[in-house]
Structures are given as C-alpha cells and as structure tokens.
Amino acid sequence: MGSLKDELLKAGLKATQAPKPAKAQNEREQIKKKHVTEAIIHQEQRNFCEECNQVRPDVELYYHRNPTTEAEWICVKCADQLKIADSFRQTAQSDTSIRKMFRREHGATRAATEFKAPQKNTGPRGPIDGNR
C-alpha cells in the first residue's frame, strides 16, 4: 500500500503550491523615482501673488519700501491697491508682460524693454538633494 499522497496523485489530483506568507503578499514593487538633474527647471515663471494668495497671470517682483506689506511677488491689482509705483518693479516675466498687456492704474507703467531679458537657468542654485 502506498501513502495517501501517492493515491491522490494516481486519482488525478495535483499538488498545490504553498501559499505565500502574508508579508510577501503585501510587498509592492519598488517605484523608480526620477533623479533630480541640473536640466530640470523647477520654476520658470512665478504666478502666485504673495499679497492676496491667489494665482494670477500678472504677478511681478517688486522691491518696494511699503511698510504695510512684506510681499515681493505681487499682482497688478494688489500693487495698485498698495500704491506701489511701477518704478519698483524688477521683472517683466508674467503672461501679461510677455503679451504686452501689462498696465498699471496707479502711476505710469514701465515699458517691457527697460527690463533685462530673462536668463535661462544654467544650473541649480544649491546642492541637489531632491528635497526642495
């Protein structure tokens, strides 16, 4: 007489594979992350107004002396409300400036030709560790 296992194999039943331990079932594949390189440009254009905390198409950098706000990246609406002159504007990088639609209600508007052409990012500003 053979063993029970031999008799079951003769009858046509096949052995099943042992189930994987619960820990192995919950493991997931490793996801390949993109490496941060010097070629990746994180932000070419700023469009977030620090004064009203909104995304606007007309945000520019202002170095001003207005004591009521510490914001530097300000939209046209906020700059007009704060009465910040356009002579304090340092950039012409917004969508409205590029399309030549940038207009100030408070005082004169500087021409876009008065600003330096934006320089392309030639590399990172600091060490690259991926945690920016």
Tokens coding 84: 């910040």
d(CA 82, CA 92): 19
Could you give the percent of the chain with pLDDT greater than 90?
A: 33
* Tens digits of residue pLDDT in 18-73: 766 666 667 777 777 766 655 555 557 889 999 999 999 999 999 999 999 999 99
Nearest to 67 by CA among 80, 49, 84: 84
Q: Where are the domains of the chain?
A: 48-106
